[in-house]
Amino acid sequence: EVLVDEEDNVAEGDACGAELLLTSAAADYAGYLLPSPLGGVAPTRVTRVDEFVGMLDMIRSDSSQVVSESVPHIHAKAMEMKQLYRKIDKLEAFVKMVGNSVSGMEEQITKAESDLGTFPNTFKKILHTVNVPSFLNKTSSSRQNQTPRLPAEEHGSPHRPHSAAQNHLFPVAKPAWLTCFASQ
């Protein structure tokens, strides 16, 4: 009987040990399977998601504002630029036409100078022999006749140099087409 009691005690001890082992194992598995409390992490993440959604809404509204306001403004400026480009093209054509006219005039002046040959020299000699009153000398010496330089001459184009005497010998009237552009 003592042996049976001891075996019952060992069986009860084993049953208690097994129950403790089972409870301990269940608690360990429950720790793995059940989520642990996150504390303040979840509300922080929710706040960040809300901020991100708010930022996306702001970007959408800014994009629609750009499309509704800025695009028509850009389109209007593009139309203005097209008109400006047309005017520039017309001015380029005008400058080319003036350049051709100047070249033609220079050829005519060169031809007229070669045809008249000694006339300017003779005319100069006659003018130098005439006595000029002193009050005319002062005014003529105070102002100097200078021919304005053409932009083409400033850039080194091979144009014939002009003198003040040549300008007075061959005056050139302004063409009518030049006056219509000057008023604009």
Contact in structure between 99 and 173 (CB atoms under 8 Å): no
Q: What is the pLDDT of residue 184?
A: 46
Give φ, ψ of 159 to 5 degrees: -100, 150
Q: Comparing 99 with 43, which gets the higher pLDDT?
A: 99
Interval 138-151: pLDDT, tens: 544 445 555 555 55
Least Cα distance to 178 among 88, 102, 85, 86 occurs for 102
pLDDT in tens, 78-136: 999 999 999 999 999 999 999 999 999 999 988 888 887 655 566 666 666 666 555 55
